[in-house]
């Protein structure tokens, strides 16, 4: 098979276009993750008790309460853990990259009670990726 310079140029051009598209997609995904993080942080600013350890440690004994604070907290934790899973997936579970982006370890520990004691039994076991669950458990040890 005879490869012409036009064929080589087409292959190179196609490869470069593919790489550029992948880089743009990755950058857009990171921008979306940063926007989601900002939105979560804004909720935490609006309702500061959601990130207060004295409050989060009361989760297990109050998780069945109809108190708006605990209902809001459970929904907030769902946002937080869903975000964390997307971030971990984005970085392909590379802990150095994840931890350079976000202090994941402290955030997980702040919401430990909600993770370990969901109001719906097995919610976390059934809802999250195995790699993510292992990462969470590692940080909670």
pLDDT tens digit string along 4-48? 766 666 666 666 666 766 666 677 789 999 999 999 999 999 999
Q: What is the pLDDT of residue 78?
A: 96
Would you list the domain boundaries of the chain?
Answer: 28-140
For 53, the token pair is 């350890």
Of 44, 40, 74, the closest CA to residue 59 belongs to 74
Q: Which residue has the higher pLDDT, 11 or 132?
A: 132
Q: pLDDT digits over 55-78, tens only? A: 999 999 999 999 999 999 999 999
Q: Among all chains, which residue has been given the structure tokens 């926007």?
A: 35
Contact between residue 36 and residue 89 where contact means Cβ atoms under 8 Å apart: no
Q: What is the pLDDT of residue 122?
A: 86
Residue 63 DSSP SS3: coil
> What number of CA atoms fall less than 13 Å from residue 56's CA on the CB side?
22
Distance in Å from the first CA to the final CA of the chain: 60
Whole-model pTM above 0.85? Answer: no
Contact between residue 86 and residue 39 where contact means Cβ atoms under 8 Å apart: no
């Amino acid at each position: 098979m005879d490869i012409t310079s036009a064929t080589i140029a087409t292959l190179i051009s196609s490869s470069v276009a593919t790489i550029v598209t992948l880089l743009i997609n990755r950058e857009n995904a990171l921008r979306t993750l940063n926007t989601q993080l900002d939105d979560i942080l804004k909720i935490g600013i609006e309702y500061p008790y959601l990130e207060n350890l004295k409050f989060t440690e009361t989760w297990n004994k109050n998780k069945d309460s109809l108190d708006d604070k605990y209902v809001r907290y459970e929904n907030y934790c769902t946002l937080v853990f869903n975000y964390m899973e997307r971030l971990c997936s984005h970085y392909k579970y590379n802990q150095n990259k994840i931890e350079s982006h976000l202090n994941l370890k402290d955030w997980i520990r702040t919401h430990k009670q909600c993770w370990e004691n969901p109001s719906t039994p097995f919610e976390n076991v059934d809802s999250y990726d195995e790699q993510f669950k292992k990462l969470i458990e590692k940080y909670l040890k």
